[in-house]
Amino acid sequence: MSAPDPDCLFCKIVAGEIPSTQVYADDDCYAFADTNPQAPTHVLVVPRAHFTDVADLARDAKASAALLAGVRAFAAQEGLTDFRTVFNTGREVGQTVFHTHAHVLAGRPFTWPPG
């Protein structure tokens, strides 16, 4: 974990400096609607603390568990039983924001393997 990064988009969203549509929040996580949704439900669940990617997050067992608990709590809140959770890690696979985030997608059929 590192201190809030003044240049990090999602640190600014967590701090309320950039507006977002909140869908869930707790002491450790903040969840908001993705501005470019890829499914009827497409939210981003982020730790309030700054971690660059899921590999960075995984060094902190408590923060990792808290983020997964946030995903679970959001899914329960929405009554989702079937949903896809994605962590893009690294530019080559499509990570564009380097504050780790779980994409939670639902509401349409999904194929496998992903594109």
Longest dimension (CA), the chain: 39
Nearest to 31 by CA among 73, 94, 80, 65: 73
Q: Measured between alpha carbons, how far is 57 from 100 in angstroms, rounded to an integer?
A: 7
Among 27, 35, 92, 112, binds ligand 5GP (CB under 6 A): 35
Least distance CB 91 / Zn ion (angstroms): 17
| Residue 55 CA: distances (Å) to CA of 1, 18, 20 | 11, 26, 25
Show the binding pattern over residues 74-103: x = contacts ligand 5GP (CB under 6 A), - = does not.
Answer: --------------x-----xxxx------
Among 5, 28, 34, 78, binds ligand 5GP (CB under 6 A): 34
Q: Contact residues for ligand 5GP (CB under 6 A)?
A: 9, 20, 32-36, 44, 88, 94-97
